[in-house]
Structure 1
Amino acid sequence: MEQCPVTQYEPVAEIGGGAYGTVYKARDSRSGKFVALKNVRVHRDEEGLPASTVREVALLKRLGRFDHPNIVRLYDVCATTRADREAKVTLVFEHVDQDLKTYLEKAPSPGLPAETVKVVTLWYRAPEVLLQSTYATPVDMWSTGCIFAEMFCRRPLFCGKSEVDQLGKIFDMTGLPAEEDWPEDVTLPRSAFTNRPPQLVTNFIPEIDDLGASLLLELLTFSPMKRISAFKALEHPYFLGQSPEV
């Protein structure tokens, strides 16, 4: 990563922010086009930027090679040193006029049609992230499940006010996980939550059908090792019009 060309991108307005950084709408002084700047602060180690940050950037660049209309493009990556142990990474993305939240707010009642449904705030974080356990790519499948549900009811499925409250709202639907599925490398014990059985998905999302509910439960599986993968999800009967196995 090279020194960030600060003068090339002129911030216009703040688009949003979260636990991992702030995003700005900016103008590229060379092309005159609008871009989205995501500024993220990361801790540097002896070898420079964390491996996780380098891997994420490499993946975003690789995705850009597909030139897919539904994938936001990464134009540039810059890193500047803020302190001995801290750096600021700026990701320069293609600017998109609206996000999924805005799109859903504009959607007429009763929500998106089934064929459209088939194409990280706190509310979309996987349990392993909320528990500050080790995590990997299955976290994205959890977030996909949350968005999948929201596309039916046009509102977030789990609206927690804190990590513990968020987990409680998840367990209200999925039930308290089994003891063997609770991660060992966390400070919050399973006993901190009251035991509760799983509820019917339709109690929370009346608009969803049986196949959709079946897929959602596999996406919102507590254990990341048991959670459905993207490849398997695409093979789910929901997309094939088949009845789920019982």
Structure 2
Amino acid sequence: MPRREISCPTTGNIGQSRLIKYTSLFFTPQPPISEKLLVSPNKQYLQEDRYMSSIPTLYTFDPQTRVHTGSRPAQVLNGTPLTQSAYATTMPPPASIAEGHVARWTGTAWETVEDHRQHLDSTGTKQGGTPFWLPAQGDDWQSQPRYTEDLGPLPEGAITVRPEKPLSRLKEEKAHEIKAACDAAIVASLTMPASSPSSAEVSVAAASLAAVDPDGPDTLLALHTSRRDELLAAVDAADTVEAVQAVVVDYDV
């Protein structure tokens, strides 16, 4: 390292000049540590750590599930990178991972596995996940969806679409719809253009029709009940869910 001497005169008590030598040491400036070196601010680096050409990257995984969680540079001790870690490896995970899958460390290599779990958001609320039902265990159209907390495929027999209502239940609901629509059609025919007539208005309308045409109320009732019976017969004859859903409930008003 270069050294230079600097002389400066000074006066002592005897008025004589003396030369006092000052020695300054100058070090060649070294490049700063890479900006990519992300470590704890408490980590103290030695001089030789600064001159490493590169610092290995460690790929971290969760201690319980062993699912890949991220990456970090290895810490350096006395110029040697520490690449042995309980929950990290120098082997990178797969570059491409299919949607709905995650990388999991086996102890010797990375594998990709299905991930149907829910995850906590910033408020601690469970989000996402794959809902499923197990008909073999009694799940039906009224059952709440299930969610798994394990990695891997869903349980055997699982379906990801809510089970359909049984045909008998669909028929009951369609029959109720047909009867309610028939009653509404009769009221509408008697009281048009009122949109929501009261029971009194319906009675007055029926009486008014009978006064003009004694057979009028019966004719009107027969018209709508005939259509009602026709629709109910179609539902009763349906032998599939699609056939029930195909029955269109309508009345001439």
Q: So what's the TM-score if we normalise by structure 2?
A: 0.18
More helix by share: 1
User: Which one has more relative contact order, counting CA pairs under 8 Å at least 6 apart?
Assistant: 1
Q: So what's the TM-score if we normalise by structure 1?
A: 0.18
